[in-house]
């Protein structure tokens, strides 16, 4: 499990920074558990690119934010 945490650390930090820049940090904090689960699933499917995980995570959050 520690490997997944290491892989997700930078993408989640980048996503958090992006949310801070656009004023969506509260939404980010509420969605973080779902985001972590989503990204863990992506890693389990074999995705290891930090850039791709960041992009996919941002797209995931956009969908979550649109629903709320």
Q: How far is CA 54 from the centre of its chain?
A: 6
Domain extent, residue 33, equals 2-67
Per-residue pLDDT at 38 exceeds 80 = yes
- Residue 6: per-residue pLDDT: 84
Query: Considering its fold, how many domains does the chain have in total?
Result: 1
Per-residue pLDDT at 5 exceeds 90 = no
**pLDDT tens, position by position, 25-34:** 999 999 999 9
DSSP three-state, residue 66: helix
How far apart CA 67 and CA 64 sit, in angstroms, is: 5
Beta carbons of 28 and 16 less than 8 angstroms apart? yes
How far apart CA 33 and CA 31 sit, in angstroms, is: 6
């Amino acid at each position: 499990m520690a490997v997944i945490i290491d892989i997700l650390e930078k993408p989640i930090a980048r996503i958090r920074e992006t949310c801070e820049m656009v004023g969506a940090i509260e939404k980010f904090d509420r969605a973080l558990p779902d985001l972590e689960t989503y990204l863990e699933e992506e890693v389990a499917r074999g995705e290891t690119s930090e850039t791709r995980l960041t992009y996919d995570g941002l797209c995931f959050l956009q969908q979550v934010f649109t629903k709320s």
